[in-house]
Structure 1
């Protein structure tokens, strides 16, 4: 395994060597300039990200689930992305899950040595009944975290789809996964602080993996959040606006349709196709919840 001081994420950045001597404005400009590298690094990986999304969609469409595993910042970002799927798209809570070395306590307080236990990566997946039908995204900025490698090895042994997300080319994570996503963001502004450029790149990639996968699975129509659940005033208003937009009725009529249908997609199918609630729900079920297919 490559030594830490040889990793790209641990190298010193010559552009920030005098960071502590800069004015506040110059300090911020330096950080901002460094962040430009992140977009370029992620853009280079778009073909691999697309390949990963196709693999995720294929598994989720056939009863599988998506898991993220990581430690420290990488783990927290995975848990964050997973936890935002249910409120945004009304996904079942088990569909996208994030696991972090050290457990949930590590979300708020660093559990430094937890990442060094490769066997714990496997045990955490076993505790969630991870199977060959599922997808595992192993996240490690350095590409060498034992907890993540242990999880990837276990997932591979089951025949699950595996994706390695790291910021170091040819890393252990990249080599052990079927699909490698490697936005090489280079040396950090503060040496070794991978919560910065590497963390930003990781967040961007995770946004793409979950969002694009759920778009492909029919959780979005056009750019509208048609799976939104009207659980508060703001979301009820959004749901009514979506129905009004896609059925060309007034906001008041859309709100009434929502009450009658119980969901945005059912309301739209009822109004567009002139169906009862039961008929609309049957049509959506046959289309695996994909509104565009149901309307066609």
Structure 2
């Protein structure tokens, strides 16, 4: 198998330390396995995007020595592929229209009850959901071995019929990410543990499209003092492009790489490319599994 990994940020703001951790982790795993590393800009949710954020993200990657192996793919240019995928699922009776409101689902306790499967909505703006039949949920492959966290049980039993096309006309992340991973022949997805719960659903979509799912690995997150993950929604501070060495050393520490005081003194004047080469040579998936870092501990 040719290893193809990817980093797929949404342009809702500049890179913060948590997203740099994700970029570096996917990059190191690809390079350590002589693989290719791609960048995809997931710009399919315009209400959440910031003008110019895609350029800021790409510039931040370059300043940290994270150079991709093909032209970045923009999801906003892939609409026809998502439309075709949606038609495939609809033609197989695997998708249905739904006009249930968030208020109705909240009143049900937050779990969707499949109401619109039996009660087809009138010709009004609707979301489209994937129909998770009992046969699909009970599939023997409903489980996987996480490259960083180890064996994971099936997750589809805890899934509702999830949305693949939104009521506002935008394609949902779950559909777009699978279509693009298959299109780019992505073999390995290394990403944050906050996306672990989506993995079984994405594996299922791959199989419904006749594609081989990638192997997945989920790394621990950097959290703030309250235990919240660093994110744009939580107003995480943008990384400083002018201090790439310091930023990379923080990420290496979070990944469990052997960055003691002697190493830091030796490497603090090295270029990002030199640091990344050292990290690639010392990369270990088993170290990542046992790490957990807070922002405060990395800033010290």
TM-score, length basis structure 2: 0.28
Higher relative contact order (CA 8 A, sep 6+): 2
- Greater strand share, 1 or 2? 2
- Greater helix share, 1 or 2? 1
**Structure number, greater radius of gyration:** 1
